Structure 1
Amino acid sequence: MATTIDQGSFKMLLRKHPRGEPVDMGVLRREGISAFRASAWARSGWLDHLGRGVYAVAGDELSRDGALVFLSRQVPGFHVGGKTALAWHGLEHDIAFEEALSLWGDRPKAIPAWIAERFPVRYQTTRILDKQAHASLGLKPLPAGDPRVLVSSPERAMLEMLSDLGKTQSLADTRRLMEGLGGLRTKVLDQLLARTDRIKVVRAAAHLAADLGLPWASLARTHSDRLGGSRWIAVSKAGERLDFR
């Protein structure tokens, strides 16, 4: 049976915790709520159990941003990137409603079933920038988004998309997206290309930008030449030949 103290603690939690956001034990402990009490609240119907040590306020519907905030607390370097970030910046208008969110982080993480069954996601730990730049360059919250969720800038998102080329990203779709990226900020792109570790990404940026006549093609070519070496050749999972000089 709920006590007056329990009721007061729960009401305080309701006032402070954002709607649509899961409640994990880290949040509860900061409010002085033990795992035992949280379990009792779940048995009383005040909380819904989502997964081990994770709850939702009963009757609350988990939101996409709430799930992303939860993951940002769990995963170092977590951010929204690639094609999803381009769409969120208004640079990709044809992304399908059911298309998986492109999520990135620094360490392997099994996406909890209670997130995956609500929101299709694709998570990866690919690092495209050098160690010093990786954690912060080209990452910040969207102006109208949750300040706790980092999103790649259009320039970084493009490079992340290019790293997916041949894996989850087809050459035809990549070309279509690149056609709309002529307005990328040259200074920001220069900073990112200078810190990009992956030859494939730089070669692809230079090749496609030149092929499409994008304003920053010469910049990308400069960085591709800086890396030296010969062309980059591979065959995608779909059987496409990728050949970037």
Structure 2
Amino acid sequence: MSDRKIQRLIKDAPRGQPLDPAMLRSLEINPAQTTYLVNAGWLQRLSKGAYLVAGDVASVEGIITYLSRRIPGLHVGGKTALDWQGVRHNVAFRPRITLWGSKSYRFPTWIEQHMPYTFQTTQLFDDQYSVIQWLRPLPSKSAHVLVSVPELALLELASDIGKRGRKGQSLDEAAHLADMLRNVRIDILSPLLENCVRVKVVKLVRDLGQSSGYPWGEDLQKYVNRLSQGKRWSIKEKDGRRLTLKP
């Protein structure tokens, strides 16, 4: 194998981002040469179809970029999306990254080692409503990493309330975060609530909005009425407390 290809790999491969076979082909490296580079110590094999240049370390943004080529609709959502946009209650040393996607995916074990995460494919909206319009890259992050706007992130945060395990989100922390969302745009929140099919989510956004005391939370009952038909909604939270939402 020529030194020119090795030099190109070292020079042009993106740092922090796992390389897949398509990316290696763009660097003129075929599967046989990939095996050679792994055996020679120029590439580190993370799992089938995932490599790093020797000495490189996978970053959060690099991993999400790698995953976005495999998971339709992948984006950073919920609590992490709010955190990345300056809305945070507690600062964690190594926070879990909240990922959302439209299809399930079997994550290789090395991802958890480099990036603690939760992933879910919960369908919050009807089939005709696409959330792609409410996903944005952030100026301070990679252009390949899409992040929920705060209004969508609020619905995703509400969806996690009451869930067990790593995906569970406490109502108390969600309320603290909602208290920081002074500038929620009702022209974005409104169509999200109109198209949401999860009564729990709509009721929780209503309650979080009312408790925040901001104008955006004053008139959300109409979205609940569209779904709930006057029924209470109840679930036991992960700490054992029962969460009951009024009609």
Q: Under TM normalisation by the shorter chain, which class is it?
A: over 0.9
- Superposition map of 1:194-205 within 5 A: 194-205=194-205
1:13 aligns with 2:9: yes
C-alpha separation between the residues in 1 aligned to 2:242 and 2:94?
Answer: 28
| Matched residue, 1:222 | 222
For the 8 Å contact 2:19–2:52, the answer to whether it is kept is yes
In 2, Cα distance between the equivalents of 1:93 and 1:174?
A: 9
TM-score for both structures, normalised by structure 2? 0.91
- Pick one of 20, 27, 36 that aligns with 2:23: 27
- The answer to whether 1:79 aligns with 2:82 is no
Number of paired residues?
A: 241
1:88 aligns with 2:88: no
Matches within 5 A, 1:32-181: 32-167=28-163, 168-181=168-181
Residue 13 of structure 1 and its aligned partner are, at CA, apart by 2.7
Specify every segment of 5 or more residues in structure 2 that has no aligned partner in the other structure, as ranges. Answer: none
The CA deviation string for residues 192-240 of structure 1, in whole angstroms up to 9 with x for no partner, is 1112111110011112222332311233222112324122222223222
Q: Structure 1, residues 46-104: CA drift from partner, whole Å, max 9, x if none?
A: 11111112110011121111111111111111000000000000011523122211011
Shifted more, 10-19 versus 78-87: the winner is 10-19
* One-letter identity of the residue aligned with 1:79: H
Q: Percent identity?
A: 39
Aligned letter for 1:187?
A: D
Deviates more, 1:194-203 or 1:230-239: 230-239
1:103–1:122: 8 Å Cα contact kept in structure 2? yes
State the secondary structure of the residue aligned to 1:219. coil
TM-score relative to the length of structure 1? 0.92
CA distance in 2 between counterparts of 1:126 and 1:42 reads 38
Question: Secondary structure in 1 aligned to 2:218?
Answer: helix
For residues 95 and 108 of structure 1, the distance between their equivalents in structure 2, rounded to whole angstroms, comes to 29
Aligned to 2:239: 238
Structure 1: state its 5+ residue gaps: none
Q: 3-state DSSP class of the match of 2:156? A: helix
* Alpha-carbon separation, structure 2, partners of 1:54 and 1:228: 46
Q: Which runs of 4+ in 1 moved over 4 A?
A: none
The verdict on how the C-alpha distance between 1:140 and 1:45 changes in structure 2, with shifts beyond 3 A counting, is same
Task: Supply the distance in 2 between the matched residues of 1:8 and 1:243 (Cα, whole angstroms).
Answer: 65
Cα distance in 1 between the residues matched to 2:30 and 2:142 = 27
Q: Distance in 1 between matches of 2:34 and 2:86?
A: 41
Contact 2:199 2:228 in 1 (8 A): no
Q: How far apart, CA to CA, are the structure 2 residues paired with 1:192 and 1:95?
A: 28
Assess if the C-alpha contact under 8 Å between 2:74 and 2:100 holds in 1. yes
Query: What is the CA–CA distance in structure 1 between the aligned matches of 2:219 and 2:11, rounded to whole Å?
Result: 51
